[in-house]
Amino acid sequence: MENINSRCELHLYEGQGHGFFNYRNFKYYKKTVAEADEFLQSLGYLNKEPKIEIE
């Protein structure tokens, strides 16, 4: 990413293994979708506010 001057963000969720992003773990699913929405908005790919509310 650095070699091509591309932006990348990493959000880690302590204690969560690979594949935690699913409906069985809805708390982290919502957080992950909200983070992705914010990232895509910052790049101009999404214009609307995220619709998922984080508790």
Tens digits of residue pLDDT in 10-32: 988 888 888 777 778 888 888 88
Residue-level pLDDT at 50: 58
pLDDT at 53 over 80: no
pTM score of the predicted model: 0.71
Domain residue spans of the chain? 1-55
Distances (CA, A) of 15 to 2, 19, 23, 32: 28, 12, 17, 15
- Which position has the higher pLDDT, 31 or 51? 31
Burial class (CB in 10 A: 0-12, 13-18, 19+), 53: exposed
Residue-level pLDDT at 22: 77
Residue-level pLDDT at 51: 64
Helix (H, G, I), strand (E, B) or coil at 13: coil
Local structure of residue 36 (DSSP, 8 states): H
